[in-house]
Amino acid sequence: MKEKLEADQYKLTVRREQVLRVLLENKDKHLSAEEVYYLAKRKTPDMGLTTVYRTLELFLLKNIIYSLDFGDGRRRYEFYGWVSDNYPHYHLICTQCGTVIEVHEDFPGGLENRVGKELKFKVESCQLKIFGICKKCALKTLKSLTG
Amino acid sequence: MKEKLEADQYKLTVRREQVLRVLLENKDKHLSAEEVYYLAKRKTPDMGLTTVYRTLELFLLKNIIYSLDFGDGRRRYEFYGWVSDNYPHYHLICTQCGTVIEVHEDFPGGLENRVGKELKFKVESCQLKIFGICKKCALKTLKSLTG
DNA sequence: TTGGATGCAAAGCCTTTGCATACCT
DNA sequence: AGGTATGCAAAGGCTTTGCATCCAA
């Protein structure tokens, strides 16, 4: 599987394989570059942060991953989930505790087709972020009010 | 209208009014802090960039504006369009020329209600970004192919 | 041997903070 | 006077770049 991803003209070096592994093992985590760096460093201690950035850039270019921004000032990375065999999905972001919940569910309303046809736009990918209060925080708030 | 926005405990100073004016005059433009700065500077030459940042932060806090990220490394700002009298809307982002097209249309499929009920999540706001190729770029590509 | 991959350090951007000054009530 | 607002400069945080070295084909 890994080999297939890189078969083009790029080499799947040890470092790149490490980055790939970390990303695969944390599919649901939305890691930042630095987090990938620390996790990869565990198995490859002489890995550099620069390499992580360059590898992520390469993966972005090859559409292996894509990047998101949850407003905390650093970019986060996730495997690509559009057109591929992954289901498209979207994110619920709690504005109180910052937790990001992934919803693995199709986009509603045949959105992508409608956009393509009605608005003359060739859709490549979608990102849907829903901000609000998660159940935990709602409970917490309730408890603090009732004592 | 402007007065109403600030009536709380914050002063609507000349600088803040300038920032507000720039934002109002560019409702459809998704300005960055620096762009706001330059536009505001035209009428108030001794305006500082720091003030723009601090004013934008204040406006964010008061839910007068909200911020977006189109992946170009700088935050962009727009008037708040949820719950308010603005229609919710989403963005088409051309991955070739970077143009951002606003679609003033409700989110499809009663999305926000479904999320709230099915996933136990109190929705505050949504952001939908659709990446792809705009009509202009598609034409450009076609022409370059046919000569 | 040759070109890409890598690490380190430095530079670049955007944004925030510290601090002294200016302003308004 | 007192507290907020502001500008400038400096600091911060994340990311990219320069450059010498390393590695694999």
Q: What domains sit in chain B, N to C, each tagged with a CATH number?
A: 1-84 (1.10.10.10), 88-147 (3.30.1490.190)
Q: Look up the pTM and report it.
A: 0.82
Q: Across chain A, what does the average pLDDT equal?
A: 84
By the 10 Å C-beta count (0-12 exposed, 13-18 middle, 19+ buried), A20 is classed as buried
Give CA B66 to chain center in angstroms: 6
Nucleotides of D under 7 A from a protein CB: 4-9, 13-18, 24
Q: How far is the CA of B22 from the C1' of C25 (A)?
A: 27
User: Mean pLDDT throughout B6-17?
Assistant: 79
On chain C, which bases lie within 7 A of the protein's CB atoms? 4-9, 13-18, 24
Per-residue DSSP letter, A109:
G
In chain B, which residues have their Cβ closer than 8 Å to the Cβ of A127? 127-131
Cα–Cα distance, B70 to B133 (Å, whole number) = 15
> Taking 70 as the threshold, does the pLDDT of residue B104 lie above it?
yes
Q: Taking CB atoms and an 8 Å cutoff, what residues of chain A touch B92?
A: 115, 119, 121
- Say yes or no to pLDDT of B56 above 50: yes
User: Which nucleotide has the least CA–C1' distance to B52?
Assistant: D6
pLDDT reading at A92 higher than 60: yes
- Res. B87: pLDDT tops 90: no
Residues 6-25 of B, Cβ under 7 A from nucleic strand D: 10-11, 13-16
∠ CA B52-B55-B60, nearest 5°, is 125
The predicted pLDDT at position B83 comes to: 44
Judge: A130–B112 Cβ closer than 8 Å, yes or no. yes
With a cut of 70, say whether residue B84 has pLDDT above it.
no
**Sequential DSSP letters for A69-88:** --SSSS-EEEE--SSSSSPP
Q: Hey, is the C-beta of B85 within 8 angstroms of any chain A C-beta? A: no
Nearest alpha carbon to residue B128 among A61, A88, A12, A30:
A88
Whether residue B139 lies within 8 A of chain A, CB to CB, comes out as no
**Per-residue model confidence (pLDDT) at position A12:** 83
Q: Is A87 on the interface with B (CB under 8 A)?
A: no
Asked if the model's pLDDT at residue A8 lies above 50, the reply is: yes
A73: left (phi over 0), alpha (psi -120 to 50) or beta: left
B11 CA, D5 C1': separation in Å?
9
Give the pLDDT score at A147: 72
- Alpha carbon distances (Å) from A72 to A49, A93, B88: 19, 12, 23
Query: Which residue, chain included where needed, has tokens 């045949």?
Result: A110
Q: Given a cut of 50, is residue B7 above it in pLDDT?
A: yes
Q: What amino acid occupies position A41?
A: K
CA–CA distance, B57 with B66 (Å, rounded to integer):
9
Nucleotide C13: nearest residue by CA–C1'? B73
**Contact status of B121 with chain A (Cβ, < 8 Å):** yes
Tell me the nearest-neighbour CA distance from B143 into chain A, angstroms: 17
